[in-house]
Homo-oligomer: A and B are copies of this chain.
Amino acid sequence: MAVGLTGLPQLYPVSGIRLGTAMASVRKKDRRDLVVVECIPGTQVAATFTQNRFCAAPVTVAREHLGKANPRALLINTGCANAGTGEPGIEDARACCAALAKLIGCDTSEVLPFSTGVIGERLPRERIIAGLPACLANLNDNGWAEAAQGIMTTDTVPKGSSRKTGIGSHTVTVTGIAKGAGMIRPDMATMLAFVATDAVVTPMVLQTCVQTAVNQSFNRITVDGDTSTNDACVLLATGTAGHAAIDRVESAAYTGLLRSVTEVFMELAQAIVRDAEGATKFITVEVSGGKTEADCLAVAYTIAHSPLVKTAFFASDPNWGRILAAVGRAPIAQLNVGKVTIHLNELCVVRHGAPDADYTEAKGLAVMRLPEIRIEVELGAGSVAARIWTSDLSHDYVRINAEYRS
C-alpha cells in the first residue's frame, strides 16, 4: 500500500561502512531480523533518541556507550523492542554488545544496541548472539539494501535514501536506511534510522547537523501520535572523504553536508509516512500565517491526529468541516476564525472562516481522490509557517494493530 514508493533507490556505499545481516529467529523464523553495521576506527557519531520516559533498554545502553567511546559497530534486531523490561533488559542489551565486541575485537562500549518490535518481552539474547557470526560473515559495503530489509517490522517496503555532494574537490556520500510504519510521532527523535557519510566532521558540528536535519524531517511526521519507546536516529561520519574537516557551521562545506543529510532524512521520514500502517493517502499539512512555529505545529498536529479528518481522507470525502473543527480546537492561545483560509492542494475550500464562494462538492471530491494531498491552513495572525506529513486512517490500520501480536 505504500503511497508513491516504488522500491529502494540506488544506495551508494559509504567508504568505511560495511553491513551484514542474518536470520536469528528473534521472534519469527526465516526472517532477516539481525543487522550489524561496522564502521572503521575514528568514525564520529551523533544521535537523537526518543523522548518517551519509558525508553527502551537499548536506548539507555546506547546513550551510555555514546558517552564513553566512538562506535565500531551498531547491533540492530527486530522482533523484540526490549522495552518495559527493567534491569534484566539492560543486562540483555549489554550481553549482546559484549558478544559482538568480542567477535570484532573492540570494547563493549564501542557497540551501540538498537531493538524494535513488541514491548514488554525479554530479549532472546542467546538467539541474537548465535546469529552474530552469520552477520559478520556477510559484512560488505554494498549491504545497505539487505540491511534496510533487515530492520523492517510492520513496514511493507524497505526504506533507503542516498545522495552525493561535492565538498571542495572531494565527493561526499550520505546514505541511510530507516524503518517504521506505526507508533509514529517522533518527538525530538525518530523511529530507527541509520545514516552514514564519509564526510570529515568534528563531533559538535555533526551533532548540530543531525539535530537540525531531524527537526525538519523525522520530527515533522506523525501517523498515530504515538511516540515509540525505541526511537533512534543515528548519523555516522567515517571521515574518509579526504577533505578538510568541517569544524564550524558557518561554512559552505557544512551547508552542503547539511543539505544532503536533510534530504536523506526527509526522504526516509516521508517514506515512513508513505508506508504508514494501512495508509492509502500521503498528506502534507502546511500551516502558515502563525505567530509562532509552536502555534503552526499545534494546529498542524491537531489536524493530523484527528481520527475524523483521517477517516474522511481514507474515504476521499471532502468533509472539510472536520478540518475546520480540528483547527478550532487546536491548543493555541488565540485564533481569529474569521481570518482562517483552507486549501486542499490548489482548491480553496474555506476563505476567511466560511465556505469559499467558488467551492463545490465536485471540486472537493476531485482533490480528495488523489493519493497525495496538501492541506494548507492560513491563520492570518503572523508570518511563521510549519509543515508536517501524515497519513489517513483506514480499515487496515485497525486490522494491523488489532492483529499485530496474533
Contact = CB atoms under 8 A, between A and B. Distances in A.
A264 interface: no
A402 B328 contact: no
Contact of A227 (B317, B324, B325, B405): B325
Given A51-B329, A225-B306, A120 B355 contact: yes
Interface residues of A, number: 61
A397 B54 CA distance: 29
A393 B308 CA distance: 12
Contacts of A185: 329
A394 B405 contact: no
Contact of A405 (B81, B317, B355, B399): B317
A50 to B, nearest CB: 8
Interface in A78-95: 81, 83-87
A403 interface: yes
Candidate in A225, A311, A406 with the most chain B CB atoms within 10 angstroms: A311
Contacts of A354: 84-87
A346 interface: no
A118 interface: yes
B86 A325 contact: no
Interface string A283-323: 00000000000000000000001111001101101011110
B406 A325 contact: no
A245 interface: no
11 contacts: A54-B337, A83-B324, A86-B354, A120-B324, A226-B325, A229-B321, A307-B307, A311-B401, A314-B402, A315-B403, A394-B398
